[in-house]
Chain A
Amino acid sequence: MSATAAAHAASHSVARMPSHTGPANKRIVTGYGFWIFLLSDFVIFASLFAAFAVLVHNTNGGPGPHELFDLKSVAVETGALLLSTYACGLASIAAHRRSAIGFYLAMLVTAIFGAVFLGLEINEFYGFIDKGAGPQRSGFLSAFFTLVGCHGLHVSLGMLWLFTMIAQVFAKGFRDDIQRRILCFSLFWHALDIIWVGIFTAVYLYGVYL
């Protein structure tokens, strides 16, 4: 935003919206745009949640939620993901302070807890398939594997992004555009938590309650 634009806006001293001063700065635009993208991603998950809700009773004579779900393992998974997000928050602070060491360390911790989460999830999936409760078994299991698997796929792609981000900071330092990408990455990682809270509640807890 140019100085003249600011002066122009200031000369009309009635209360005005901030956008009145012209285009927003890049960090705001990028963060805002990425939030809109995340909202569209939430709609994908919303469709999968809806499909799960419709199909949860369609077990086709196979195992249902309470026979399959092991809440202890899911609780550990949840803990791992939450700790990973906490570490991601620390990485943001380190990036803000331009501390490269702090950033690498926090991102590494984020990745480790993310890997623990993924490992537990893959283990759970293998266990189900081993018992003959794979996604082809019933409508319920198709919906379960797709919803939870889609979240897992997001975490996996997030890991790819995470390591790319570490490499970027290593190669380019904390440039403005890199900082914006770190902002987007942390928004993404936190958004996956929001989705997981939904999955933990609507799939696991509610599934067992059924």
Chain B
Amino acid sequence: MLGKLTWDAIPFDQPIPLAAGAVVALAVLAVLIYITVKGWVPYLWREWITSVDHKRIGVMYVALAILMLMRGFIDAVMMRTQQAVAFRSNGYLPPEHFNQIFSAHGTIMIFFGAMPFMIGLMNFVVPLQLGVRDVAFPTLNSVSFWLTASGALLVNLSLVVGEFSRTGWLPFPPLSEMTYSPGVGVDYYCWALQISGVGTVLTGVNFVTTILKIRAPGMTYMRMPIFCWTALAANLLIVAAFPVLTATLAMLLLDRYLGFHFFTNTGGGNMMMFMNLIWAWGHPEVYILILPAFGVFSCVVPTFSGKPVFGYRSMVMATMAICLIAFMVWLHHFFTMGAGGDVNAIFGTMSAIIAVPTGVKIFNWLFTMYGGRVRFTVPMIWSVAFMITFTVGGLTGVLLAVPPADFMLHNSMFLVAHFHNVIVGGTVFGALAGMTYWFPKAFGFRLHEGWGRWSAYFTIAGFYVVFMPLYVVGLEGMTRRLQHYDVGAWRPWMMVSVFGVLLALVGIVLEIVTIYVSIRDRESLRDEVGDPWDGRTLEWSTASPPPEYNFAVLPHVDHEEYYWRIKQAAARSETLPEEPHYVDIEMPRNSATGFVAAFFATVMGFALIWHIWWMVGVAFVGAYATFVAFAWRDHEEHVIPAETVARNDHARRAARAKALKAYSPR
């Protein structure tokens, strides 16, 4: 009846996961009860859960990402403390538990922390910057989000029901095959990623279509803000790379469930094929993570330097070059496979070459700042920290791209330090810069500057203190994922590293304090006008928070710096542009399709993990019925009358007119 699921799945004998799981379960339950008692359920259902508004979906993505980043950070704290104490002893985490922790840490941070954060920012910003009302497929967008949330739920469920994968953040065979991993851990991993992977591919489809087909009149390709370009590149990579992950995990699942021989070491399987396939997805994946961050910095740096981005065209070229070369470097993840000198040389060279467009970007940001009036606000602090940190990380990457050096450093702590150097220093700093930068646009008030500043300082310092020692121990021969060790030379560095975790923890606490203080003092931090930073792109031309339809009338873009120019013209003439003619606006109606489909997807994933076949069938029928119900709708849109649009826009124009008097044109 319940397949493999029995009471043994609950880890009654392991206090740490059991206690952690119980606390989380109680916390979730408490929140749900609180929401219900307060009577917020109808509001949440109407305004958020069933919303197909790209701004709401973006905010939900970022909220999910922040939650998961914290979950992943707890794993990180456990790993660092374990390695600090497990010198000539077993530490406090038994090996099978330690292995689950490093697997969960990587999986959660990449798939449910970094990616949703970037996709959330793209969701919120791209339609606003393109000057349009929504993405190409609004309901599909909601489906994408809820499928991602479904994957995150399954991964976290493994904490209490069963176990998680012990095979690392990528399930390398033959270790991940049934012979060596007979438990449900790898199945949790695979199904969670298959479900959220579908969501990610649909996001890719949605955003490629949006950027290529839905732009404001006059918004030619070469007038799009750089963030839209990097979003385009990242989503092209999603469309081209994520199906490879889906196919590869499907093959692994066939091996595990039906005894196929794709990656087994018997029966004619080929485990190195898994390496090639997984990294053919995996390397583009790191550019999916970093390119949107590059886009964030390309918005933040010009705004706070008071200059247009330096070398717009070279930025576009560099972005698209990275997009292309991202597919030609995957073999550098396993130079030690033994593909031979020629193959390694080609991939080593390509890996070094991809650093060139990235270098172009770094210089462009520096030259954007050069000669500008730089304001060191919180987003700018993150950006400067990024430029320095990412350059260090990029250079150690070039070192690793040299095959002979890689033979020494492969799978060492040096590698761990390198990829954290670029992912934390690039993607996470970019995510936090973007969150601080667009927060006032999303909620109508800024984040508190003072607390935010200290949060940034502590997090950045924490990053350096944690990871610089890891470079050293890596060069001293320490391999990654060690549950315990007995080399005395590594010990002091591990102690320094764990101190850095403390600094980062302070940074995270301060970030939470920042958000709390900002909500408390929101009246004094209010953004009345909609342009708190003296911005240059279209999202700052509408109100904060923007109305559901974003723009009362679509802008007619005639220049790369369109909004900046009309703002300066208005300031010089001290009059706003002429009032437009308002018309009715059609917007897509809310839909529960995403939420309901993701519910069935979660049930199906759970049933597949535990071999509960009847439940798989029920969930499939349920998911199909959901889409048929959606397809049977007669009204896709609701109309916002011209009077409402005019009323909202008059309020916006009044605030602008007032602000115009205080604004000195440049």
Q: Nearest chain A CB to B633's CB is how many angstroms away? A: 9
B583 at the interface (CB under 8 A from A): yes
A37 and B214 alpha carbons, distance in the complex (Å):
17
Is the beta-carbon distance between B268 and A136 smaller than 8 angstroms? no
Instruction: Tell me the A35-84 residues at the B interface (CB within 8 Å).
Output: 36-37, 39-41, 43-44, 46-48, 50-51, 54-55, 58-60
The stretch that binds B, out of A13-21, A93-101, A107-115, A201-209, is: A13-21
Q: Nearest chain A CB to B566's CB is how many angstroms away? A: 15
Is the beta-carbon distance between B260 and A5 smaller than 8 angstroms? no
Q: Nearest chain A CB to B560's CB is how many angstroms away? A: 14
Is the beta-carbon distance between A32 and B251 smaller than 8 angstroms? no
Residue of A nearest to B214 (CB): A23
B632 at the interface (CB under 8 A from A): yes
Secondary structure at chain A's binding surface: helix, strand, loop or mixed?
helix
A11 and B581 alpha carbons, distance in the complex (Å):
18
Of B214, B240, B262, B636, the residue contacting A29 (CB under 8 A) is: B214
Is the beta-carbon distance between B268 and A29 smaller than 8 angstroms? no
Which of B201, B219, B254, B268 has most chain A Cβ within 10 Å?
B268
Residues of A within 8 A of B268 (CB): 55, 58-60, 138-140, 142
Beyond A5-B554, A39-B239, A140-B268, whether A22 also contacts B215 by CB under 8 A is yes
Q: Nearest chain B CB to A125's CB is how many angstroms away? A: 13
Is the beta-carbon distance between A40 and B240 smaller than 8 angstroms? yes
Is the beta-carbon distance between B218 and A29 smaller than 8 angstroms? no
Residue of A nearest to B255 (CB): A142
A158 at the interface (CB under 8 A from B): no
Is the beta-carbon distance between A37 and B205 smaller than 8 angstroms? yes
Beyond A33-B137, A143-B262, whether A8 also contacts B251 by CB under 8 A is no
Interface residues on A, range: 35 or more
Residues of A within 8 A of B273 (CB): 51, 54-55
A197 at the interface (CB under 8 A from B): no
Of B137, B218, B255, B277, the residue contacting A47 (CB under 8 A) is: B277
B246 at the interface (CB under 8 A from A): yes
Q: Nearest chain B CB to A140's CB is how many angstroms away? A: 6
Of B132, B204, B583, the residue contacting A40 (CB under 8 A) is: B204
Of B251, B631, B636, the residue contacting A146 (CB under 8 A) is: B251
- Give 1 or 0 for each of B595-621: 1 = CB within 8 Å of chain A CB: 000000000000000000000000000
Residues of A within 8 A of B583 (CB): 2
- Give 1 or 0 for each of B219-235: 1 = CB within 8 Å of chain A CB: 11100000000000000
A28 at the interface (CB under 8 A from B): yes
A43 and B248 alpha carbons, distance in the complex (Å):
11
Q: Can you list 26 contacts pairing A with B, beta carbon distance less than 8 Å?
A: A4-B581, A17-B221, A19-B212, A20-B218, A22-B216, A23-B132, A23-B215, A29-B136, A32-B209, A33-B205, A33-B208, A36-B204, A36-B239, A40-B204, A43-B239, A46-B243, A47-B243, A135-B258, A138-B267, A139-B268, A142-B255, A142-B260, A142-B262, A145-B260, A146-B251, A168-B631
| Top 10 closest pairs, chain A to chain B, by CB | A139-B268, A58-B268, A47-B247, A60-B268, A43-B243, A22-B217, A33-B209, A142-B260, A44-B243, A138-B268
Write the residues of chain B forming the contact surface with A, with a CB cutoff of 8 angstroms.
132, 136-137, 201-202, 204-206, 208-209, 212-221, 239-244, 246-248, 250-251, 254-255, 258-262, 267-270, 273, 277, 280, 554, 556, 558, 581, 583, 624, 628, 631-632, 634, 636
Knowing that A22-B554, A135-B258, A135-B260 touch, tell me 10 more A-B residue pairs with CB under 8 angstroms.
A8-B218, A20-B217, A37-B205, A43-B243, A46-B244, A47-B243, A60-B261, A140-B268, A142-B269, A146-B260
